[in-house]
Structure 1
C-alpha cells in the first residue's frame, strides 16, 4: 500500500462552522471597510478580528504573546484566507488590530457588524433588552488611564477605569462597564459600548439607545 508522506492532519473542530457564519455575515469585509487598510499589511484588521473571535470561542485563555500558538495544528488558511499562517498572527499584529478598532470606534464597528449580521440572518426585533455589567481590573491606574486629557487637542480616552458599583462584588478594585443592547428574539446583540466604571446606568443606557436608534433600523426586517 502506498502512503502519502506529505499527508497533514489538522484540528478543525467547531471552528469551521464559526468561520462560515462570520464569512456569511461578511465580518472581515465590514471591519476592513470601516477601519481601512494599513500599508504593506499581510493580515487585515478584519482577518485579525476574525482570528480573535475564533480564539475566544476555542475556550483558550492565554497571554497575547501566545496568540499564534492557538492556530498551530489548525487549517489557518482555510479558516482565515490564503497565505495566512500562524506566524502572521503575532502579538504585534493583534495589538495593532485592537488599536485600529479603538481609533475607528468600537461601538461604531460593532454596530456595523450587527447590521451586516441582520442582513445575512434576518430576524425580527420587536423590543430591546438593555443592560450593563462591570469588569474589575487589577493593577495601578493613574489619572491618564482614567480618561484625563494629557495634551492640548487630544481626546479623552474612551472610558475611565475607576471605582463604582461592582456587580461582581469587588468594590475594592477599579472597573469598567460593558453596555449591551440585545434583540428580544434570541438575545442577539445589536449594540455594544464600553463605559466608565462609575457610570450612571439610567442616563448612559437611555442615551445609547437614543443616539443609535436610527442606526439600529428597528422598523426593518
Structure 2
C-alpha cells in the first residue's frame, strides 16, 4: 500500500507534491507445524557413541551411565583447579607427579565413598541436612558437611573428653 510523505507539519496544502512515497506491507506469517515439531524433536537429540556392543545396555541405561560420569568428573575437576597447585615448581620428577596423582585419586575415591555413605544414611533414616540456603537436603556434598563441622573443636583434659 503506497503512502505519500509530505514535508512539514500538519495537513499538506492542496496540490502540494509529496516528498517521497513509503510502502506499507501487510501480511500474515505462517509456519508448517510438521517442520516445527521435527525441529523441536531434533533440538533435544545428541549423539552418544559407545564401543559397548553387548545387548545388556539399552539406550536409557547407556544415557544413565553417561550422566553418572558427571560425579566422577566433578571430583577430577579438583585436580585441575588452581587450589591444588600441581606445578613443576613443586614436583619435577614424573615419578613424584604420578605418586601425587595416585594419592589424590585415592583421596577422591575416599571422598566419594564418604559422600555416598552420608547421602545413603540420610535417605535410610529419612533425615535431611541443611544446604547453603538453609533448606533441607538429602544430597549434601561432603565438602559442605565438612564446612558445617569446621567450627567444632575437641577439648581433652586428662583421660576424659568433653
- With CA pairs under 8 Å and 6+ residues apart, which has the higher RCO, 1 or 2? 1
Shared fold per TM-score greater than 0.5 = no
TM-score (norm 2): 0.26
Structure 1 or 2, whichever has the larger Rg, is 2
